[in-house]
Amino acid sequence: EAGVAQSPRYKIIEKRQSVAFWCNPISGHATLYWYQQILGQGPKLLIQFQNNGVVDDSQLPKDRFSAERLKGVDSTLKIQPAKLEDSAVYLCASSVDRQRVSYNEQFFGPGTRLTVL
Amino acid sequence: KNQVEQSPQSLIILEGKNCTLQCNYTVSPFSNLRWYKQDTGRGPVSLTIMTFSENTKSNGRYTATLDADTKQSSLHITASQLSDSASYICVVSAQYGGATNKLIFGTGTLLAVQP
């Protein structure tokens, strides 16, 4: 079974530039997550999709961050314009979300390391 | 406030030795607790998942314990190997109904295993 795919793996941009990240979840996984992981910290949820609808975007800085999952499969996360504090690893994860189970495991991609200069 | 705290922040041990990582949490309503291993430059990979009724769960040389009364968990690594060098993240899930849940991540313990 193929894992969660992300691209690019690394990106270096200058502040005020725009950047986009792409994620392809595991086939059949209805739920997709974008996390921001700053060096030395645990991941922080930015946005959660259930199919192509947004379930939770309470921690997404909506003035500069946007995300979409138009067909309920792939997703893109965009930052426009980037700030220095956006330097982090952006992780994508997906889960099946079966009903009537005690947990739904999230599978993570390798992440995109963003450096804003 | 939902929080997950881990200790120590970092740890250096010699190859072959055992070690124990700690996790304290204040998360409600509690659904389950997970330990993840994150190698440098990679995404987290699940090691164990424990629900409220489970006290211990093993995955090879990794053994996790859960005390739901004191809201503490530990991850014990036996006979450490160089490949165990990674960040270990404790994650507590709060379930608010339905199949979706909210994960609260700890900041991780960075383990370095030296030859």
Q: Given this model, what pLDDT does residue B1 score?
A: 80
Cβ(B18)–Cβ(B113) below 8 Å: no
Q: Given this model, what pLDDT does residue B98 score?
A: 56
Please state, in angstroms and rounded to a whole number, the distance separating the CA atoms of residues A60 and A63: 9
Q: How many CB atoms lie within 10 A of CB B108?
A: 25
- Selected for mutation to probe chain A from B27, B48, B88, B105 (highest A CB count within 10 Å) is B105
Please state, in angstroms and rounded to a whole number, the distance separating the CA atoms of residues A72 and A62: 21
Q: Given this model, what pLDDT does residue A23 score?
A: 97
Look at residues A25, A11, A19, A38 and name the one whose alpha carbon lies nearest to residue A95: A25
Which residues, including other chains, have CB under 8 Å from residue A78's CB and lie 6 or more apart? A18, A19, A20, A21, A65, A66, A67
Q: Given this model, what pLDDT does residue B100 score?
A: 57
Q: Given this model, what pLDDT does residue B71 score?
A: 94
Chain A residues 24-43 within an 8 A CB cutoff of chain B:
31, 40-43
Q: Given this model, what pLDDT does residue A85 score?
A: 96
Query: Long-range pairs for A47-54 at CB < 8 Å and ≥24 separation?
Result: A47/A77, A48/B100, A49/A75, A50/A97, A50/B100
Q: Do residue B102 and residue A105 have CB atoms under 8 angstroms apart?
A: no
Chain A residues 86-105 within an 8 A CB cutoff of chain B:
91, 93, 97-105
Q: Taking residues A89-107, what's their average pLDDT?
A: 79
Alpha helices per DSSP H over chain A: none
Q: Given this model, what pLDDT does residue A19 score?
A: 97
The series of mean pLDDT values per 10 residues for chain B, 115 residues long, is 92 97 93 93 92 92 95 97 97 73 89 96
Strands B72-77 and B62-67: antiparallel
Q: Given this model, what pLDDT does residue B29 score?
A: 86
- Dihedral angle over CA of B39, B73, B107, B14, nearest 10: -50
pLDDT in tens, A2-51: 799 999 999 999 999 999 999 999 998 989 999 999 988 899 999 999 88
Q: Identify the burial level of B1 via C-beta atoms within 10 angstroms of its C-beta, where 0-12 means exposed, 13-18 middle and 19 or more buried.
A: exposed
Which residues, including other chains, have CB under 8 Å from residue A61's CB and lie 6 or more apart? none
Look at residues B92, B96, B60, B98 and name the one whose alpha carbon lies nearest to residue B79: B60
Please state, in angstroms and rounded to a whole number, the distance separating the CA atoms of residues B65 and B55: 5
Report cis status (omega within 30 of 0) of the bond before A81.
Answer: yes
Q: Given this model, what pLDDT does residue A2 score?
A: 76
Q: Given this model, what pLDDT does residue A22 score?
A: 97
Residues from B contacting A (CB-CB < 8 Å) are: 4, 31-32, 34, 41-46, 49, 51, 89, 91, 93, 98-103, 105-108
